[in-house]
Structure 1
Amino acid sequence: MAAENQCCKVETQEHIAAYLENRELVRELQPLTCDARLVEQVASNYIIVKRMLGHLPWQDQMICKSVCKMWCDAVQALQRELQGPVDFVYEVVEDVDSGMLKSSGSFSKEPMAVIVFTNFGGFCKMGNCTLMSPRPCTPACSEVHWMLDFLDQELCFPKDCDLIVRASYLCYMPLASSPSSAYTINRDMMTTTLPFICGIYIPKIPNVQYEVVNIKTNSDMKMDFFDVVDRISSTRTFKGILVFVTDKYMLNSIDDITFLNHFKKVQPETPYALGGCIIEDTMFDRRDLSFFINNVNTDVLHRDAFISENVVSVCMFTVPKAQEAQDSGSGCNCNFEMFSLIIESSDWPKPKILSAIKEFAENIDHFEHSVVFKLSCIGRDERHDFEQKSFRTHFPSTPLIGCYGNGELGVNHPPRPEPKPKPSANTVKRQKRLIAELGLMYSYSTVFVYMGWGKIVKPAKT
């Protein structure tokens, strides 16, 4: 197993490090002999430059923006053209220190958010630098790298925009046209222990901001959550929230989830999407990645090792408030929306599930670019394939990703009619209904969170 070898952190590429440190980079390279006049003509031709820069990863494009105004304009034009999400899977082999990144597109636009889902096997997986594709180091070193650290370097660095969610069971359903479609997770794969890493790469969207707060203890709640939400709400509107609660912060009562009502307090008139579930661990801070790498060389790897100490991770997607956007002359329409749907009970028959998904699809705008997060209870594994296929029927161009947990959080946006209580309901069911009426905590349920941006290709019926 790779973990038995010394794990080495992936080095930051020297030109990226020099750019971040604002220092000159001197390389001992033999310059190519070519016509300087021809080089100047090529470098000053907007069409040629734009085409060349389009083949570079976003980190290199970030540096190229500093060359001159024309190159900056070319990069900005490329960023406007590449708006769609990229789903990806990192193919890992259980008994071999190798891996290969497969995706539905290129990572050539600056990301807004990269959300990675991994099971325990994928979380622990390491690979030999020479056997990984693409190779973490150039030239390849002889060391072993943690695959999640490699993904952070490849997709996110130097931005802090990735969230790693560790759960026992994952959801992944890319489009049929995606090179990663062969890795779609169906019910038969639910019980597998093979390592699995998948994720969604959401490009930078005009006017939209993504922010994550990690809460370590209840005593940190005010500083790490309430103060942050208050600060954001003073100038921005919440469109959607993803909540990942670790099993160190179990949701056993209404009191455990009242902190999420703060979103409604600061934004009482404007609805928002919300979905989440109880999972095993999250990582957002690069210090957590470094902590894992520093300890894996000395400690025995097991299921309770290397936890980040996060009890709750909250991902917030916001847009400028209408008045502020109008003052800036950009208008308040950011062409970005998020919606959420709760399949509330394990005893819902399939026709009722299908009807709820169809109603949801008819009552929301469909966007040119979209992704859906599926956050479900592991007790619904028998409905796994049915729910995914039903959602795909009504959202044929939307990749689906997510995980299974042991308790779900959500709100219905747009709202749905409240179910009438059964006269014969016992005390336990009445307590569960009381919690559900808050529109936050559920059990044996599935929560879909739809995120869309760009042109509206199919407006809502209502």
Structure 2
Amino acid sequence: MEVLGEENEIIVREQEEELLHQQDQEESNIRYVMTELHEFLKRLFKKLPAQSLLNCSRVCKRWNSVAALILKSRENCITWAQYNYHIASGSSPSPAFVPHSLGYFGLDLYNCLKETWSVPASCLFFSEFQTADKFHGSLITDKKKSSVTIQKHIEAAMPASCDILSVTVPGTISTTRDLANCAESEGEGGAVAILFPKMEGVQIYKVSIQNHRGIWEQSGVERHQNVKCILTMTSNTSMSTSPAGERLQNTFFRDGQTPVIAGAVIDYSLSDTSDSTECIVFAGDRVNAASILLDENVDTEEDVIRELTQLKNAGLSETNSIGFMFACIGRGSEFFQEWDVESKAFRKIFPRTPLFGVFGNGEIGCTNLPKSKWKKVPQMTHGYTTIICLISFG
């Protein structure tokens, strides 16, 4: 009996060792597939959003190189997060509060970053509020937490390397990610964050221009960098001197260049509290831009469509394009006696191009089309107008 017992133990031991050997072999095969088979990893990683790829890139050198390759192939995927009361109120009923410090907008930003296929390198953020507790759906009630600037909340959500320009404005214009809706918010609590990835042949960067100093010496804008467009955000407190956007246009013109410069007089810059104009620069061979000025005489939808047709005829590629609208707070629904006239007209002319923008306390820009021939710089500062700018990345 003792002999039989010993034989059974030996058999059991051998079976356990064989099972362990099989498990080791299976794990070895999995490790081989997951680390050495390059094509397998590429096919697998192509199905993952950017945030998941960033997590995978930290596993090992092989995964890091494959993840970097996939991310580079997606470099032209511009995305955005937005909240607009008019769009939200037309959809299914929403809960009074959502689990995010920036409310409905913050939740959309979270989902956007979770689902986006490209890593944001630059972010342009427009908000109608300065503190998080004001955002629709925000759960923040603690005064200490509500005192944290929105800039800090946005910085916490973005990759550390992302360059962020944040401003507060009287109103916003935004488009849903599926391009199904576009609407204007005139103080109803709108917010939008446009996220730009790194793109080959494109440079996008933020600069600050002190309003009492020279342009080239302090802006960081290179004179011969092939600058195509500069969006400028000048705070109310900086309007005692000629706006930086106007000075930029004159300086470029003297150098024989006419890039599109457009922007607005805003309430407050969340990125920089000093007396400066915040700008985002678009440069590079792949970038093309054009703009149109809608003055106070353009006061019907038919007028708007007629003027926007000029922008359409500029011939910019709309495959990978984005529109910006800088409107006077005196326009909008009270001016047209109807909601969303200018944004709806834009969507009719450019159905595949998302439109974003602000209502401000003044507008910077002019009609600047590829065939424009200037003898001198047109007037750049306006009131009761709208500047619409189209940027194409080819």
State the TM bucket, normalised to the shorter chain. 0.7 to 0.9
Q: Which of 377, 384, 387 pairs up with 2:328?
A: 377
Flag structure 1 segments of 5+ consecutive residues without an equivalent: 1-32, 133-142, 286-307, 320-333, 419-435, 455-462
Q: Counterpart amino acid of 1:381?
A: G
2:243 & 2:352 partners in 1: Cα distance? 39
1:346 & 1:160 partners in 2: Cα distance? 41
Q: Does 1:446 align with 2:383?
A: no
Equivalent positions of 1:8-407 (< 5 A) are: 35-54=27-46, 55-57=48-50, 61=54, 64=57, 67-68=60-61, 71-89=64-82, 98=100, 99=103, 100-101=107-108, 106-120=115-129, 125=134, 148-155=151-158, 157-174=159-176, 177=178, 184-186=182-184, 189-192=185-188, 195-215=189-209, 217-219=210-212, 221-222=213-214, 225-229=215-219, 232-234=222-224, 236-250=225-239, 258-265=246-253, 267-268=255-256, 270-284=257-271, 308-319=273-284, 334-346=285-297, 348-382=299-333, 383=336, 385-407=340-362
1:263 & 1:381 partners in 2: Cα distance? 32
Structure 1 stretch 116-125 or stretch 337-346: which is displaced more?
116-125
Q: Counterpart amino acid of 1:87?
A: W
Question: Structure 1 pair 96/353, CA: closer, same or farther in 2 (3 Å)?
Answer: closer
Match of 1:49, SS state, is helix
Q: After superposition, what is the alpha-carbon deviation per residue over 1:255-288, rounded to whole angstroms, capped at 9, x for unaligned?
A: 87652235424641x4321110101112336xxx
Question: Does the aligned pair in 2 maintain the 1:226–1:262 contact within 8 Å?
Answer: no
Q: After superposition, what is the alpha-carbon deviation per residue over 1:20-50, rounded to whole angstroms, capped at 9, x for unaligned?
A: xxxxxxxxxxxxx971331222222223323
2:160 & 2:227 partners in 1: Cα distance? 26
Match of 2:315, SS state, is coil
Question: Structure 1 pair 347/452, CA: closer, same or farther in 2 (3 Å)?
Answer: closer
CA drift at 1:119: 0.6
Match of 1:109, SS state, is coil
Match of 2:393, SS state, is strand
Question: Does the aligned pair in 1 maintain the 2:74–2:117 contact within 8 Å?
Answer: no
1:279 & 1:50 partners in 2: Cα distance? 45
Question: Structure 1 pair 371/154, CA: closer, same or farther in 2 (3 Å)?
Answer: same
CA drift at 1:399: 0.9
CA drift at 1:347: 5.0
Match of residue 19 from structure 2: none
Match of 2:319, SS state, is strand
1:256 & 1:230 partners in 2: Cα distance? 14
Question: Does the aligned pair in 1 maintain the 2:249–2:259 contact within 8 Å?
Answer: no
2:54 & 2:42 partners in 1: Cα distance? 10
Question: Structure 1 pair 163/258, CA: closer, same or farther in 2 (3 Å)?
Answer: closer
Flag structure 2 segments of 5+ consecutive residues without an equivalent: 1-23, 85-93
Question: Does the aligned pair in 2 maintain the 1:373–1:402 contact within 8 Å?
Answer: yes
Q: Counterpart amino acid of 1:185?
A: A
Match of residue 422 from structure 1: none
Question: Does the aligned pair in 1 maintain the 2:75–2:198 contact within 8 Å?
Answer: no
Structure 1 stretch 370-379 or stretch 69-78: which is displaced more?
69-78
Q: After superposition, what is the alpha-carbon deviation per residue over 1:319-339, rounded to whole angstroms, capped at 9, x for unaligned?
A: 2xxxxxxxxxxxxxx332122
2:95 & 2:33 partners in 1: Cα distance? 47
2:198 & 2:349 partners in 1: Cα distance? 26
Q: Which of 400, 413, 424 pairs up with 2:368?
A: 413
Question: Does the aligned pair in 2 maintain the 1:277–1:406 contact within 8 Å?
Answer: yes
Structure 1 stretch 393-402 or stretch 406-415: which is displaced more?
406-415
Question: Structure 1 pair 259/123, CA: closer, same or farther in 2 (3 Å)?
Answer: farther
Match of residue 460 from structure 1: none
Question: Structure 1 pair 349/380, CA: closer, same or farther in 2 (3 Å)?
Answer: same
CA drift at 1:416: 7.8
CA drift at 1:101: 2.1
2:136 & 2:234 partners in 1: Cα distance? 29
Match of 2:296, SS state, is coil
Match of 1:444, SS state, is coil
Question: Structure 1 pair 70/370, CA: closer, same or farther in 2 (3 Å)?
Answer: same
Q: Counterpart amino acid of 1:391?
A: F
1:346 & 1:124 partners in 2: Cα distance? 40
Q: Counterpart amino acid of 1:38?
A: I
Question: Does the aligned pair in 1 maintain the 2:318–2:353 contact within 8 Å?
Answer: no
Fraction of identical pairs, as percent: 17
